[in-house]
Structure 1
Amino acid sequence: MAAVVDLWWEWVEQSLSVRDCERSTGDWVKQYLLPAHYWHQQSVRTKNPTLNATYQIAAQQAQASLMRHPITTAMSCEQFTHWQTWATSMVTKFQRTSSPVEGRNGYLSQIHHNRRGLSTRRLRVMTTIHNFHLQRSDGSTAAERLFGKPSPDLFEWLVQQMPVLPQARRGKAAAKARTPFLPTVPA
Structure 2
Amino acid sequence: LVALEPVSNVILLEQYAEDRTAATWTQALAAACAGLPVTLVQGTSDEATALRRHIEHDHQAHHSPDLFHLQHEVAKGTGLSLARAVRAADAEVATAEAQLQAEREAEQAYRQQRHGPGRPPAFAQRIQGALQRWAAAAITRDQTQARQEEATTLIRALGEAYHPFELERGEAQPPERLGERLGTIWQRLEALAEAADLPARARAHLAKAKRLNTALLATIAFFFATVHQRVEALNLAPAIETAVLQQLIPAIYLERVATRCAGADERRRLAALSAQTLAPLRAADHPIQALEATQRVEIEQVASDCADLFQRSSAAVEGRNGQLSLFHHGCHRLSARQLAALTAVHNFYIRRADQTTAAERFFGQAPPPLFEQLLERVPLPPRPRRRRARAPKIPYLSPMAA
TM-score by length of 1: 0.52
Aligned with residue 147 of structure 1, among 346, 349, 363:
363
User: What is the one-letter code of the residue matched to 1:151?
Assistant: P
Query: Contact (CA 8 Å) 1:32, 1:62: kept in 2 or not?
Result: no
Task: Report the count of equivalent residues.
Answer: 134
Cα RMSD (Å) of the superposition?
Answer: 4.3
Q: 1:62 to 1:169 in 2, by over 3 A?
A: farther
Shift of 1:18: 5.2
Query: Contact (CA 8 Å) 1:131, 1:143: kept in 2 or not?
Result: yes
Aligned to 2:191: 68
Shift of 1:83: 10
CA–CA distance in structure 1, aligned partners of residues 185 and 330 of structure 2: 38
1:145-184 pair list within 5 angstroms: 145-171=361-387, 173-174=389-390, 176-181=392-397
| 1:38-83 deviation digits (Å, cap 9, x = unpaired) | x8xxxxxxxxxxxxxxxxx8998655422213xx4344x5xx3399
Aligned to 1:29: 148
User: What is the one-letter code of the residue matched to 2:190?
Assistant: M
| 1:110-169 deviation digits (Å, cap 9, x = unpaired) | 213443432222211111111111111111001111111111111012113333421113
CA–CA distance in structure 1, aligned partners of residues 328 and 390 of structure 2: 45
Query: Contact (CA 8 Å) 1:33, 1:84: kept in 2 or not?
Result: no
Moved over 6 A (4+): 14-17, 57-61
Aligned to 2:338: 122
SS at match of 1:22: helix
CA–CA distance in structure 1, aligned partners of residues 391 and 202 of structure 2: 78
CA–CA distance in structure 2, aligned partners of residues 136 and 155 of structure 1: 18
Bigger Rg, which one:
2
Query: Contact (CA 8 Å) 1:35, 1:62: kept in 2 or not?
Result: yes
Q: Which structure has the higher relative contact order (CA within 8 Å, separation 6+)? A: 2
1:73-84 pair list within 5 angstroms: 73-75=194-196, 80-81=198-199, 84=202
User: What is the one-letter code of the residue matched to 2:194?
Assistant: T
Q: 1:129 to 1:22 in 2, by over 3 A?
A: same
Instruction: Using the aligned pairs only, state the percent identity.
Output: 31
Q: 1:164 to 1:66 in 2, by over 3 A?
A: closer
Query: Would you tell me which structure has more strand in proportion to its own residues?
Result: 2
Query: Contact (CA 8 Å) 1:132, 1:143: kept in 2 or not?
Result: yes
| 1:3-27 deviation digits (Å, cap 9, x = unpaired) | xxxxxxxxx9x98875517233122
Aligned to 2:41: none
Q: 1:174 to 1:103 in 2, by over 3 A?
A: farther
CA–CA distance in structure 2, aligned partners of residues 166 and 35 of structure 1: 65
User: What is the one-letter code of the residue matched to 1:140?
Assistant: T
Structure 2 segments unaligned to the other structure (5+ residues): 1-79, 91-139, 159-178, 207-314
Query: Contact (CA 8 Å) 2:349, 2:370: kept in 1 or not?
Result: yes
CA–CA distance in structure 2, aligned partners of residues 33 and 163 of structure 1: 57
User: What is the one-letter code of the residue matched to 1:124?
Assistant: A
User: What is the one-letter code of the residue matched to 2:189?
Assistant: L
* Deviates most, 153-162 or 57-66: 57-66
CA–CA distance in structure 1, aligned partners of residues 202 and 327 of structure 2: 34
